[in-house]
Amino acid sequence: MYVDLPEPELRSYRSSQLDPADFDEFWSTTLDEARSFDLDVRVEQVDTGLTTIDVFDITFAGYNGEPIKAWLRLPAGASAPLPAVVQFVGYSGGRGRPIDNLLWASAGFAHFQMDSRGQGGGGSVGDTADPHGSGSQTGGFLTRGIESRETYYYRRLFTDAVRAVEAVRTLDAIDPSRVAVLGGSQGGGIALAVAGLVPDLSAVVAYVPFLSDFPRSMVSSSSGPYAELVRYFGIHRERLGLIDTTLPYFDAVNFAKRAVAPAWFSVALMDRVCPPSSVFGAFHAYTGEKDIAIWPFNDHEGGGIDDDARALEALRGAFAVRSLPARRGGRRARRS
């Protein structure tokens, strides 16, 4: 059954989330601090046994200069700098195994899949620590460090994601003028955050994005991670002010207001994890050219492979890809 507003109301819904007056200053300062550390991109080829895709183990410096892991997958033998898809993963998942997720490299793109610090205990494995403590929190990540915007977990994760785009642009296998960001659920929310912080992306793909429209999501989601916030504020009643002093700095709605790259969203009208209205809240706030696929009879899986097929077509257009790169001798993913 439908779990939220009827579709006509979703199309007219607008989020009540406000952006703080110092939102831009906060993020500018945060990223400047991260950029005071060298990116320190390290590349090591992985022997996977694959013959059509080369895989590289990447390490780069994220928030506070801390090491973040990623996989880089390239079409084997690609000879020219490639457009890159930077992918962020869903809640509790990590970057997975080297031979996971071969679609984007198989399509002729460079595929850079960032690990999520401290995650990787559910769905797919992770290899990146989050060496920061936290005060009182519920299980999961939505309340980790929520006591202030400076200590909140997603300050670190969003900074890592911006640095991932910067890291991929240093690699000589990559055309730095053709970089897109992509993700589903938490990964979609991260992609929207990056879109609001990096102005020169080629495209943004956000499947059923999480971390969108906190005021609506906390009272409309019937399952999934938003319940962590509900439990937290049900216990810490004296901290309800954090809903206004911490969360707005990390809401995809406020990043969407600053994003200009072409964007492809998707929403599932039976999604109990990310309420459809919260997705429309971010979609309507998005200032760049945008499109949304509506899946009437799907839950949080969204359009599944059909979302991927739509994204593949969109990315080929955004990158103006007309043919796969010619194959010659093997190519390493050296830094430029």
| Residues tagged active-site | 185, 271, 300
Strand ranges inside 47-94, DSSP E: 53-61, 67-75, 82-88
Beta bridge partners of 184: 207
- Contact present, 169 and 228 (Cβ < 8 Å): no
Q: How far apart are CA 202 and CA 181, in angstroms?
A: 8
Query: Which amino acid does the sequence have at 330?
Result: G
Q: How far apart are CA 176 and CA 179, in angstroms?
A: 6
Q: What are phi and psi of 204, to 5 degrees?
A: -135, 130
- Contact present, 170 and 228 (Cβ < 8 Å): no
- Cβ neighbours, 10 Å, residue 19: 17
Q: How far apart are CA 71 and CA 102, in angstroms?
A: 11
Query: Which amino acid does the sequence have at 133?
Result: G
**Residue pointed to by tokens 């949080």:** 300
* DSSP calls for 91-105: TT-----TTS--HHH
